């Protein structure tokens, strides 16, 4: 029996159902892909490309601003002067780091304000996704920096305490401790998200999950529902947890806007991540980035203390080296982005292939990829996809689904 709702069967206003029906009937993968892509309205394509462009600008602009900010503080000796002034105010190094960090973080928040303003207020106002005015948005932006600032302060105190005690081996210990912390967060992530998710009681969702658990060899799949955010919920799902806490989280909008076949593919895709142990892969990738960050920071701090006198840095434990530490984090994160995105796209392709093999629903997959395009650029350039996309583009995923359909024949009827 197939559970469907009137809303799930209703056509998306920005999708051309006639072209989608023609794509389902097409036998040539290229022609089917072209028809699916043509089904998205031009206004929606233009909107998602504008949103994507602003995201690229924000990412590159944020990197540039942070880099210039750190280098300027180092080149003009601002922070060693601040360090000496703070030292006269208090002889206790935790207090010194607290004052130092508050000044550093405050100026950084101000420097980044124009890019955040462009991305999260100006663009969203144009796309009519939010209706709040700029005073309230500014208040939300500033208050939203408090928690990251406090987390950064705690991290800085712990890091500099470790540097003072461990000396030469501080970066290896920091890397190991950070990796363990990431593993703990991944393990506890379902519990950490408990305020925004709930255990699903939807009969269709639970039936699909049980069927897929049997077909894929998993004992059971815990399915959670995430409350919709914003005036119009977006479809989507994700996997979370690690070892014994693994779960699949489905956006509640998916239950309204997707039919049973589409939901089956969505759950199968996330099941693929679990079967293929992508949580381990994610942890390994993040651990590699942390290792590169801490190793490069240790080298650069030693170099600055020995050969870059203008910075006034006396050694790795000197708080005046904070801009260098931040600069290494910014550069390593930005430089590793394309590699991490490439590995992530590989994992998503694996999960897509797993879902197609299990469900044999390529047209349902294509429909899901189209609906996801309401918030993603459907057809980016190859360079943009390679550099910025953590998921394959909609065009790429639809093309592969249609190629799978051509090779494997008709999809099954799940009804």
What was the pLDDT predicted at 121? 65
- Identify whether residues 203 and 145 lie together within a single domain: no
What percentage of the chain's residues is helix, strand, coil (to nearest 5)?
75, 5, 20
Domain match, 116 and 171 both: yes
Q: What is the pLDDT of residues 8-41, one digit of tens each?
A: 444 578 889 999 999 999 999 999 999 999 999 9
Q: Can you give the residue range of the structural domain that contains 291?
A: 45-192+280-340
Q: Is the pLDDT of residue 56 over 90?
A: no
Alpha helices in 217-259 (DSSP H): 252-257
Average pLDDT score over residue span 350-367: 94
CATH of the domain at 265: 3.30.2010.10
Query: Mind listing the pLDDT tens digit for each residue in 299-327?
Result: 998 888 888 777 778 888 888 888 889 99
Q: Reduced to 3 states, what is the DSSP secondary structure of residue 199?
A: strand
Please report where in the chains the tokens 């008709």 appear, as a residue: 410
Do residues 39 and 16 touch, judged by C-beta distance below 8 A?
Answer: yes
Q: Are residues 107 and 236 in the same domain?
A: no
What percentage of the chain carries pLDDT values higher than 90? 41
Quick check: 106 pLDDT over 60?
A: yes
Q: What is the pTM of this model?
A: 0.86
Q: Is the model's pLDDT at 365 over the cut of 50?
A: yes
Cα(296)–Cα(306) distance, rounded to whole angstroms? Answer: 15
Q: Are 176 and 115 within one domain?
A: yes
- Is residue 361 within 8 Å of 411, Cβ to Cβ? yes
Closest CA to 264 of 206, 303, 186, 308: 206
Residue 179 has a pLDDT of 95
Residues 83, 97 contacting (CB under 8 angstroms): no
Residue 186 lies in a domain: yes
Task: Domain count for the chain, please give it.
Answer: 2
Q: What is the pLDDT of residue 11?
A: 57
pLDDT band at 411 (very low <50, low <70, confident <90, very high): low
Q: Are 49 and 138 in a shared domain?
A: yes
Domain limit, last residue, from 291, 311, 340: 340
pLDDT of residue 125: 58
Does residue 65 share a domain with residue 200?
no
Cα distances from 312 to residues 94, 116, 223, 269, 323, in angstroms, run 20, 32, 54, 53, 12
Query: Which pLDDT score is estimated for 129?
Result: 55
Residues of the chain above pLDDT 70, percent:
91
pLDDT value of position 374 = 81
Is-contact 351 270, C-beta < 8 A? yes
């Amino acid at each position: 029996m197939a559970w469907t709702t009137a809303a799930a069967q209703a056509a998306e206003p920005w999708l051309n159902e006639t072209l989608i029906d023609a794509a389902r009937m097409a036998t040539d993968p290229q022609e089917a892909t072209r028809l699916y892509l043509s089904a998205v309205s031009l206004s929606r394509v233009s909107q998602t490309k504008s949103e994507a462009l602003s995201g690229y600008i924000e990412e590159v602009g944020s990197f540039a601003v942070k880099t210039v900010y750190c280098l300027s503080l180092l080149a003009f000796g601002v922070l060693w002067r601040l360090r000496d002034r703070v030292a006269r105010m208090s002889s206790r190094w935790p207090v010194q780091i607290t004052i130092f960090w508050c000044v550093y973080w405050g100026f950084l928040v101000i420097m980044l304000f124009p890019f955040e303003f462009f991305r999260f207020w100006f663009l969203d106002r144009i796309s009519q996704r939010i209706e709040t005015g700029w005073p309230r948005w500014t208040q939300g932006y500033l208050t939203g920096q408090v928690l990251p600032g406090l987390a950064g302060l705690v991290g800085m105190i712990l890091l500099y305490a470790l540097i003072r005690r461990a000396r030469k081996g501080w970066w290896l210990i920091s890397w190991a401790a950070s990796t363990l912390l990431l593993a703990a967060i991944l393990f506890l992530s379902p519990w950490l998200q408990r305020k925004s998710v709930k255990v699903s009681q939807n009969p269709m969702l639970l039936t699909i999950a049980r069927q897929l658990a049997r077909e894929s060899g998993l004992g059971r799949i815990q399915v959670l529902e995430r409350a919709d955010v914003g005036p119009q919920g977006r479809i989507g799902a994700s996997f979370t947890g690690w070892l014994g806490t693994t779960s699949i989280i489905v956006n509640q909008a998916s239950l309204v806007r997707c039919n049973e076949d589409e939901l089956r593919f969505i759950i199968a895709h996330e099941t693929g991540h679990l079967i293929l142990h992508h949580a381990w892969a994610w942890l390994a990738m993040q651990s590699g980035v942390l290792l590169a960050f801490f190793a490069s920071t240790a080298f650069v701090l030693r170099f600055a203390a020995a050969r870059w006198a203008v910075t006034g840095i006396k050694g790795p434990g000197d708080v005046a080296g904070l801009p260098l530490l931040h600069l290494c984090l910014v550069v390593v994160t930005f430089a590793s982005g394309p590699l991490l995105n490439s590995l992530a796209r590989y994992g998503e392709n694996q999960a897509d292939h797993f879902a197609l093999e299990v469900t044999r629903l390529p047209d349902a997959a294509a429909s899901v990829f189209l609906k996801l395009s309401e918030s993603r650029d459907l057809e980016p350039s190859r360079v943009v996809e390679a550099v910025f996309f953590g998921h394959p583009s909609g065009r790429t995923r639809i093309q592969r689904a249609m190629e799978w359909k051509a090779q494997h024949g008709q999809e099954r009827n799940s009804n």
